[in-house]
């Protein structure tokens, strides 16, 4: 008997169900003595032994379904070793559930925080296989995470729609794109949607440069300016502050989010009206795009293969179009940032996009 536990952890994204389907189809095509334990709401399910027994039929018809059939939750890594309100040691509890159920391995679908905990469980002796899920595309060790392209599609669609109304009213629009501390979704959606200015966490912006770019467009007869701003974008001035100083500044200002901060900075210095659009969690919702369906199916099937090989402690990743097994120890705790000197940034600059830095 092969006993597999499965959980989805952290913020959800498109193609989680497609990836799990890939794992289960892959394993069940080779073995018929499989038990699947679906832990509910991420690590919580493992900690409190809350699971459902699933069969391959539960994974049928979910290729296109958004969200996760297992539910998810955020269980911050730094709190893992902190006992819960009843004094329960969460790490010991997870190990206990794993051993009590006599699992052969645990398949964990998650992003950065999830991978830190997954690696800790590996160090504690559990057999772990992970799949790289996040719209942010910030996981180290893989060129691409599933969810990313679907989020890019939605953010691009938002920018497309904003273009028409921005033109009609001759306005400056700031569209805030998700991505946590990195700018992957904003960069790709910004280029795909024809944004005029793209502000990324990796390239701190100078307000004077942004204002100048807007006013030059107006002077050249352009009716609108579209700014795609990553939720983690930061000004040059603020990037020089210590973490403590920045926190104090943000607490004083209390902007609902970064787009409002940028709007306040530029509004007084442009003749045009400024408007804000924040698509927010829409970017994580709905059905996965075809690219993500293919990617997650491939990653899921590769996870099945690794399980059947008994090759644990690995994340399934993508390198130059191929699926690779990346040691979890290399993945955990590292973020993959946009490189400000990369070709894609240079090419975007060549087409006239301003990153607000020079
Ligand atoms: O990690 C995915 C993500 O959507 C980020 O882009 C965003 O910063 C964060 O999650 C939002 O988290 P929550 O769902 O907890 O509001």
The token duo for 100 is 């009590």
**pTM for the full predicted model:** 0.97
Atom 13 (ligand 1) nearest CA: 11
Residue ranges of the chain with per-residue pLDDT less than 70: none
* ipTM of predicted assembly, 2 dp: 0.97
159-184 tens-digit pLDDT: 999 999 999 999 999 999 999 999 99
Other Cβ atoms within 10 Å of 58 Cβ, number: 17
Closest residue by Cα to residue 224 from 303, 169, 295, 298: 169
Closest residue by Cα to residue 135 from 182, 176, 175, 174: 182
DSSP code at position 130: E
Phi, psi values for residue 230, rounded to 5°: -75, 145
The token duo for 319 is 């390198």
Atom 7 (ligand 1) nearest CA: 180
Closest residue by Cα to residue 8 from 93, 80, 63, 73: 73
204-249 tens-digit pLDDT: 999 999 999 999 999 999 999 999 999 999 999 999 999 999 999 8
Question: Are 137 and 312 spatial neighbours (Cβ–Cβ below 8 Å)?
Answer: no
Question: What's residue 250's pLDDT?
Answer: 86
Q: Report helix, strand or coil for 318.
A: strand
Cα 198 from Cα 353, distance rounded (Å): 7
Atom 2 (ligand 1) nearest CA: 11
Cα 30 from Cα 86, distance rounded (Å): 43
Question: Are 171 and 275 spatial neighbours (Cβ–Cβ below 8 Å)?
Answer: yes
Cα 219–chain centre separation: 38
Ligand 1 center to residue 351 CA distance, Å? 30
Question: What's residue 40's pLDDT?
Answer: 98
Probe ligand 1: pick from 11, 281, 282, max atoms within 8 Å of CB?
11
Question: What's residue 310's pLDDT?
Answer: 98
Cα 86 from Cα 239, distance rounded (Å): 41
Phi, psi values for residue 132, rounded to 5°: -85, 100
Query: What residues line ligand 1, using a CB cutoff of 6 Å?
Result: 11, 111, 134-136, 178-180, 231, 284
Question: Are 118 and 130 spatial neighbours (Cβ–Cβ below 8 Å)?
Answer: yes
Atom 11 (ligand 1) nearest CA: 11
Question: Are 158 and 300 spatial neighbours (Cβ–Cβ below 8 Å)?
Answer: no
Is 136 among the catalytic positions?
Answer: yes
Instruction: Tell me which of 32, 58, 104, 136 is the catalytic residue.
Output: 136
Question: What's residue 254's pLDDT?
Answer: 87
Ligand 1 center to residue 164 CA distance, Å? 28
Ligand 1 center to residue 32 CA distance, Å? 38
Question: What's residue 10's pLDDT?
Answer: 97
Q: Report helix, strand or coil for 182.
A: coil
Ligand 1 center to residue 258 CA distance, Å? 14
């Amino acid at each position: 008997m092969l006993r597999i536990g499965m959980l989805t952890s952290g913020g959800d994204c498109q193609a989680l169900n497609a990836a799990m389907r890939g794992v289960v189809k892959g394993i069940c095509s080779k073995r018929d003595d499989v038990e699947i334990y679906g832990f509910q709401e991420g690590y919580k399910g493992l900690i409190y032994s809350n699971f459902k027994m699933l069969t391959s039929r539960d994974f049928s018809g979910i290729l296109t379904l958004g969200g996760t059939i297992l539910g998810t939750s955020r269980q911050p890594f730094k709190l893992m070793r902190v006992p819960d309100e009843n004094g329960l040691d969460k790490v010991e509890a997870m190990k206990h559930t794993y051993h009590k159920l006599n699992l052969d391995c645990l398949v964990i679908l998650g992003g950065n925080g999830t991978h830190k905990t997954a690696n800790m469980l590996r160090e504690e002796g559990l057999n772990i296989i992970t799949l790289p899920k996040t719209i942010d595309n910030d996981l180290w060790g893989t060129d691409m995470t599933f969810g990313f392209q679907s989020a890019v599609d939605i953010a691009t669609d938002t920018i497309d729609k904003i273009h028409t109304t921005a033109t009609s009213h001759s306005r400056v629009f700031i569209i805030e794109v998700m991505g946590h501390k990195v700018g992957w979704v904003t960069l790709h959606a910004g280029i795909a949607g024809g944004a005029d200015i793209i502000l990324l966490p990796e390239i701190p912006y100078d307000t004077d440069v942004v204002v100048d770019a807007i006013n030059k467009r107006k002077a050249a007869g352009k009716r609108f300016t579209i700014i795609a701003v990553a939720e983690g974008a930061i000004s040059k001035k603020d990037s020089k502050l210590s973490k403590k100083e920045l926190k104090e500044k943000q607490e004083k200002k209390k902007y609902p989010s970064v787009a409002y901060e940028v709007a306040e900075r530029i509004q007084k210095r442009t003749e045009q009206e400024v408007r804000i659009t924040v698509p927010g969690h829409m970017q994580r919702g709905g059905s996965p795009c075809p690219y993500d369906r293919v990617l997650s199916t491939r990653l899921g099937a590769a996870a099945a293969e690794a399980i059947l090989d008994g090759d644990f402690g690995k994340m399934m990743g993508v390198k130059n179009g191929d699926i690779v097994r990346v040691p979890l120890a290399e993945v955990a705790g590292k973020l993959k940032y946009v490189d400000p000197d990369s070709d894609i940034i240079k090419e975007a600059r060549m087409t006239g996009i301003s990153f607000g830095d020079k």
